[in-house]
Chains A and B, each alone.
Chain A
Amino acid sequence: MAIVTTSKKACSVNPLKMSQPIGGSFAFMGLRGAMPLLHGSQGCTSFGLTLFVRHFKEAVPMQTTAMSEVATVLGGYENVEQAILNIYNRTKPEIIGINSTGVTETKGDDVEGFIRLIRQKHPQLEKFPLVYVATPDFKDAFQDGWEKTVARMVEVLVDPVEAGAARDAARVNVLPGCHLTPGDLDELRTIIEDFGLKPSFLPDLAGSLDGHIPDEFTPTTIGGIGVDEIATMGQAGWTIAVGAQMRRAAEAMQQKAGVPFRLFERLCGLAPNDEFIAFLSEISGRPVPAKYRRQRGQLADAMLDTHFHIGGRRLAIGAEPDLLFDLSSMLHEMGAEVAVAVTTTVSPVLERIRTQEVLIGDLEDLEERAKAHDCDLLITHSHGRQAASRLKIPFYRAGFPMFDRLGAGHQLSVGYRGTRDLIFDLANLVIADRETNHQPTPETWRSTDSGLQVVPPQLH
């Protein structure tokens, strides 16, 4: 339906996009005892690290191969070797997850080759879990880095299962996209467990970045899925992938261990959750618990209450493809008009977004178009705050990074309950904006020309 276009500008202004290596590191953060490592200059890590710390308000493990100018030109074997040894000796991780960056990809370092040599040279590392993913900064975006990294985790860490081997029907793999928060993962875990199923989340950011106080502080991730559990994921009865970006990992799982998968492109909204709950009921063989029948009713009622405020809103939204698709579809279904949609990278879902055009662009594009289309609701990550204050329209922060408000890790969008809370938040934002900025005055309707005012203030 939508036409997908790419910005023709030479200069990106107020980027929406972040780089794919840190999307890769983000995925490794959902593994227990992990140390994400960027093969690049120290700034590559430091910028990413600062961004994660500002978003989660947590200590975040992330390391660098600290490539100097000379090392970059000569090749980074020694830096990768030293970094792995140092991390292995100092932080005693269970896994080191390595992503390349723009500098080392421009040089063309063969990191897979490096790792083979390092394993030969240091017998203690022979079997140690090291996962490497090529993620040059000059291609793709954050979401792609996550997508590639999770797929690679499956390829490297899941033990193959022979065709015809018995499966554990109660076990379900969940492959969440990077647009889900730790809070979303916990919500999904509860829902799945309520059907008597045992989920394994890969990656599981809810274990590591949900802001809990750990029993034991480690310099690596303080929780998440263990390498041992990942190895056995091939025995699960089903894989549930959330977000189109996870198709690749789900297919890898199917190929490696024969686990069938079901992809849910969205988990926000009434219809997508009906499908999800029905699917869980089907694979578990259990009826839908009363709790979810009630939650469904609550969401339906919330939709009735909020549609007055959300219906007819002209939405400008900037987000990575899966989040964009999820939120814009839900709001379209609530009667909002998706007037402007800007995203970071290509994806099969883009052309199905319920709007005229989806632009792969930046926040300047979003701001200009929001103004041109007279939008009255803005949704994007925290970097949209400047645009929002210039546009003077209600601004809902969604996606990563969210560094200027608290509780980013717990913001919900999945499930009946998550959707319910989200639409209440949005409607309240609209109400507050009307109360603050659009109170009628004796002059509001005084017409200066012969025609009727096109946009009267809303009086719902």
Chain B
Amino acid sequence: MSSMSATIQVVFNEPGCGKNANKTEAERKKGCTKQLQPGGAAGGCAFDGAKIALQPFTDVAHLVHGPIACEGNSWDNRGSASSGSDLWRRSFTTDMNETDIVFGGEKRLYKAIKEVIEKYDPPAIFVYQTCVPAMIGDDINAVCKAAATKFGKPVIPVNSPGFVGPKNLGNKLAGEALLEHVIGTEEPDYTTPYDINIIGEYNLSGEFWQIKPLLDELGIRILSCISGDGKYRELAYSHRAKAAMMVCSKAMINVARKMEERYGIPYFEGSFYGIQDSSDSLREIARLLIERGAPAELMDRTEAVIAREEAKAWAAIERFKPRFKDKKVLLITGGVKSWSVVAALQEAGLEIVGTSVKKSTKEDKERIKELMGQDAHMIEDMTPREMYKMLKDARADIMLSGGKSQFVALKAAMPWLDINQERSHAYMGYIGMVTLMEQIEKALYNPMWAQLRKPAPWDEAGVNWQTKAMAQMDAQAAEIAADPVRAEEARRAKKICHCKTVDLGTIEDAIAAHGLSTVDGVKEHTNASGGCGACKGRIEDILAVQPTPILQAAE
């Protein structure tokens, strides 16, 4: 296990991560993993993250070493699409039983690898470690090595048992496994000046195929996609690419950066969600390739394609404008997808509410992303009643989000659209944006809503859970407002930092007690802004009004 904790430290110390670069040495040691709260946690484990990141490699057999829970409860749950092999969708697990726990599971794992090779003969096997075999000391590295030697086939250990941390750590540990065992182990038949890698793209609902035809048209070859619709051999020779694009935020930043370090492959972080982003990304790909020796005319061709596609997309979106006039969208999600669709939504005439989003220029993006990240945090903490009030207060006509907020939105007879990974529509590139508009239009104008919002004939008008909840919350608010002591309590209880659960009172007390004047000072004493850092702005606001009368600081 010592080597794994070393790997985790390395991953935490990622210099390519902007957030990490701003941390002190001590903070960096602690890592970027938020301490989980028992009884108040949501989200997947590190094994889940590793599997999500690697499972879209289509011709690989993904073998999970553990009891049935890890694979039996979760397999075939992602909508990645494959253009070839369907092996990745088959599920392989050692399904460890009590005897394995007592005597060790290594033998069973070795036999399992043998069975998979005999029956399915994949180009490679990825073996995933889970908590129970990690605890009992099963050495999957040794088993994989022995099996690889014996069967003459790559058997790759992915050391990311669930209990080492959350999903995003698992993404990175998966990347480490690729860097250590796969990338650079084979050579392509030939290379071209137009070879790129796409890193961190999972081809959910086949959405990458909304972009690929454009790359094909430009003669740009995807040498390897890590990992959507990916193949083992392509991954193994991906070190020969000329440039790389890192999609999906920072999930695999370690792969992109280390490939730059080891193989001199420059990368940029980009997205194909949204029209502007798609164009920017295509330009950036062309620019990097030209830098690495591709003919300069590539840029002209790229610009021509961009101009054509943008014109087509805007023309298509134009027809939604009258339908979207005066319609408001409540956009909530922490992911990259939300901020990159903002521009297109606004262009189509939708007003975005719920987050203070102005016209989204490139400079604003980081800020929008942070704001939205914060909202996503907040939503996870809300009771359904509070969430309903938020929907109502925002006067939104439709909500775009992912995750568990959907059920409250829908049950409140609120049009809702999934823009997270569970969704079944592809929203990438220029076509994808138009599809998104179509879906929004369909949801907004469904005649069903009018019927659903009407009470049953035998129910008193206005006596439903929605009005009851609103009345309850209003009554509570009035009660609190009437009582100065409770009002002050409520004011101080307002949560400022959602990651570290720090309220306004705690911050004010710390400022008063220690005479603080900086965000860092507040962080030192209260831990506020020690998580995602998105509440910095709010802490600055609090600092700005201290020590003026506290009531002004309330909002």
Contacts and interface: CB of A to CB of B under 8 A. Distances in A.
Interface of A: 9-15, 17-19, 21-22, 37, 40-48, 50-51, 53-54, 58-59, 63-69, 71-73, 78-80, 82-87, 90, 101-103, 106-107, 136-139, 141, 213-219, 364, 383, 385-386, 403
Contacts of A48: 69, 73
Given A11-B116, A41-B131, A47-B70, A106 B136 contact: yes
B139 interface: no
Given A10-B112, A82-B38, A103-B131, A15 B91 contact: yes
A50 B95 contact: no
Contact of B39 (A84, A141, A213): A84
Interface residues of B, number: 70
A139 B162 contact: no
Contacts of B63: 11
Interface string B96-124: 11101100000011011111100100000
Q: Which 6 A-B pairs have the closest CB atoms?
A: A43-B45, A83-B39, A217-B384, A86-B39, A11-B112, A10-B111
A83 B38 contact: yes
A12 B47 CA distance: 18
A217 B95 contact: no
Contact of B37 (A13, A80, A86): A86
19 contacts: A10-B108, A10-B115, A13-B91, A15-B93, A42-B42, A42-B162, A46-B43, A50-B77, A65-B39, A66-B37, A66-B41, A102-B131, A106-B101, A106-B132, A137-B70, A138-B98, A138-B101, A138-B132, A219-B384
B552 to A, nearest CB: 30
Given A102-B131, A214-B465, A82 B75 contact: no
B398 to A, nearest CB: 19
Contacts of B98: 136, 138-139
A213 B411 contact: yes
Nearest to B72: A15
Contacts of A80: 38
A286 to B, nearest CB: 30
B40 A86 contact: yes
B445 interface: no
Tell me if B's interface is mostly helix, strand, loop or mixed.
helix
Contact of B44 (A46, A65, A386): A46
Contacts of B67: 19, 102, 136-138
Given A11-B63, A11-B112, A42-B44, A106 B68 contact: no
Contact of B36 (A12, A59, A68): A68
A137 B69 contact: yes
Contacts of A53: 404
A86 B381 CA distance: 13
Interface of B: 36-48, 63, 66-77, 86, 89-98, 100-101, 108-109, 111-116, 119, 131-132, 134-136, 161-166, 383-385, 388, 404, 407-408, 411, 465, 468-469
Given A12-B94, A47-B44, A103-B132, 11 more contacts: A12-B93, A13-B90, A46-B43, A50-B77, A58-B407, A66-B41, A68-B165, A85-B39, A213-B465, A217-B388, A386-B89
B5 to A, nearest CB: 9
A19 B39 contact: no
Contacts of B68: 12, 15, 17-19, 137-138, 141
B72 A69 contact: no
A24 to B, nearest CB: 12
A342 to B, nearest CB: 14
Contacts of B36: 42, 66, 68
A65 B93 contact: no
Contacts of B100: 138
Given A10-B115, A11-B93, A106-B132, A87 B39 contact: yes
A48 B44 CA distance: 10
A47 B76 CA distance: 12
Contacts of B116: 11, 13
Nearest to B108: A10
A78 B36 CA distance: 13
A78 B363 CA distance: 45
B40 A44 contact: no
A386 B90 contact: yes
A83 B46 CA distance: 20
A418 to B, nearest CB: 27
A69 B162 CA distance: 9
Nearest to A101: B69
B131 A63 contact: no
Contacts of B77: 50-51, 54, 403
Contacts of B469: 216-217
A90 to B, nearest CB: 6
Contact of A64 (B38, B69, B119): B38
